[in-house]
């Protein structure tokens, strides 16, 4: 399948776009990095709302890069698009700032994790359990390992561990054994049927029985959780004082990592007993904008059903120099 010739082919309604724009409304002027660019919906909204900011859009999917490039073209030099995984965020930002001779720093970073609706809706990409297609699931199609490799080459115990770890699927062992017995599997339709048949009948009434297994295999193929923690750390280190990092996750595995890395940034990695003054010398890098995760409102879910499972967390980089000035502490 070839990349689309028009951004319409990657039609995608960004999740919580108004809330993201609001959270970035108070950050200083500078670069806002959309680390999961997709079709460019969030990036376009941020560029429209903040004329004093520029956007660096990063995505590893060539299809998304083509679509976002077309969507952001009207913003000219204010939008820079790069194809890369988001674990290269610091490297990409340094390259863009150098290439553009910019004297501005990073005022915001956005991670909208998971898979986008156009990827799910296009059967040929192999992400969907509803649309038959090849067992692919690669966001970056230059990578060698695909879903077919995970499904057809993993030992039963390894496959069960993958499904359980990345989706909390209670029937992971049953599903893995059924997959191994049915191999070789060549299409998403075949895989979805094998998984559905392996799940007990009562559980099939709780949404599509293959949803969790497909999620787990996709995460494994793309190393999504393995690269997330370091990428979040890089993002927070890039921020100007007062800059914000927003992460939107869609399942518990992602959210656990986001929560832990944001907490680490807020505490500076302090390991002192709770309730006592810090004596280990830890230096916080950020503060919580809101301590708890935010969820979509009923109206937001009605407008965009993909928002139903989203958990949004946000931290703000601390201005240590301002905190050290007597007039700021007064």
Average pLDDT over residues 306-324: 84
Identify the domain boundary among 194, 222, 250: 222
Q: Which domain holds residue 213?
A: 135-222
Residues 28 and 174 in one domain: no
Q: Considering the domain boundaries, does residue 130 fall inside one?
A: no
| pLDDT at residue number 304 | 86
Of the listed ranges 1-5, 39-43, 75-79, the least confidently predicted one is 1-5
Is the predicted pLDDT of residue 328 greater than 50, yes or no?
no
Domains in the chain, number: 2
Distance of CA 215 to the CA centre of its chain: 13
Confidence of residue 81 (pLDDT cuts 50, 70, 90): very high
- Nearest C-alpha neighbor of 198 from the set 218, 213, 188, 187: 213
Identify the domain boundary among 189, 222, 255: 222
Q: Considering the domain boundaries, does residue 268 fall inside one?
A: yes
Q: Considering the domain boundaries, does residue 160 fall inside one?
A: yes
Residues 211 and 286 in one domain: no
| pLDDT at residue number 131 | 84
Average pLDDT over residues 73-89: 97
| pLDDT at residue number 207 | 77
Identify the domain boundary among 181, 202, 222: 222
Q: Considering the domain boundaries, does residue 125 fall inside one?
A: no
Average pLDDT over residues 40-48: 97
Specify the residue for token string 């990592």: 257
Residues 140 and 112 in one domain: no
CB 80 within 8 A of CB 96: yes
Confidence of residue 134 (pLDDT cuts 50, 70, 90): very high
Average pLDDT over residues 309-314: 96
Return the CATH number at 96: 3.40.50.150
Specify the residue for token string 């108070």: 26
In whole angstroms, give the CA distance from residue 175 to residue 159: 9
Average pLDDT, the chain: 90
State the Rg of the chain over Cα.
21
């Amino acid at each position: 399948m070839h990349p689309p010739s028009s951004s319409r082919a990657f039609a995608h309604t960004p999740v919580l776009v108004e809330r993201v724009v609001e959270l970035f409304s108070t950050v200083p002027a500078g670069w806002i990095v959309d680390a999961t660019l997709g079709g460019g919906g969030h990036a376009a909204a941020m560029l429209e709302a903040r004329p004093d900011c520029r956007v660096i859009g990063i995505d590893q999917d060539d299809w998304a890069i083509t679509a976002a490039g077309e969507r952001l073209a009207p913003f000219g030099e204010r939008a820079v698009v790069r194809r890369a995984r988001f674990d290269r965020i610091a490297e990409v930002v340094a390259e863009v700032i150098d290439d553009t001779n910019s004297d501005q720093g990073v005022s915001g970073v956005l991670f909208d994790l998971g898979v986008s609706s156009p990827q799910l809706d296009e059967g040929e990409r192999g992400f969907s359990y509803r649309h038959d297609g090849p067992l692919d699931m690669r966001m970056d199609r230059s990578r060698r390992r695909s879903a077919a490799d995970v499904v057809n080459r993993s030992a039963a115990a390894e496959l069960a561990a993958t499904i359980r770890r990345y989706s909390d699927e209670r029937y992971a062992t049953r599903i893995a054994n059924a997959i191994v017995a049915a191999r070789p599997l060549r299409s998403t339709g075949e895989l979805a049927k094998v998984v559905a048949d392996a799940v007990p009948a009562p559980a099939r009434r709780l949404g599509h029985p293959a949803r969790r297994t497909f999620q787990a295999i996709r995460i494994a193929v793309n190393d999504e959780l393995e690269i997330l923690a370091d990428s979040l750390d890089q993002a927070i280190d890039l921020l100007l004082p007062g800059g914000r990092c927003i992460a939107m996750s869609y399942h518990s595995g992602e959210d656990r990592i986001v929560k832990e890395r944001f907490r680490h940034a807020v505490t500076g990695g302090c390991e002192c007993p709770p309730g006592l003054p810090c004596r280990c010398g830890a230096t916080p890098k950020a503060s919580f904008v809101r301590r708890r995760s935010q969820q979509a409102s009923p109206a937001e879910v009605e407008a965009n059903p993909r928002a139903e499972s989203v958990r949004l967390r946000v931290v703000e980089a601390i201005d240590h120099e301002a905190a050290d000035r007597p007039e700021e502490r007064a």
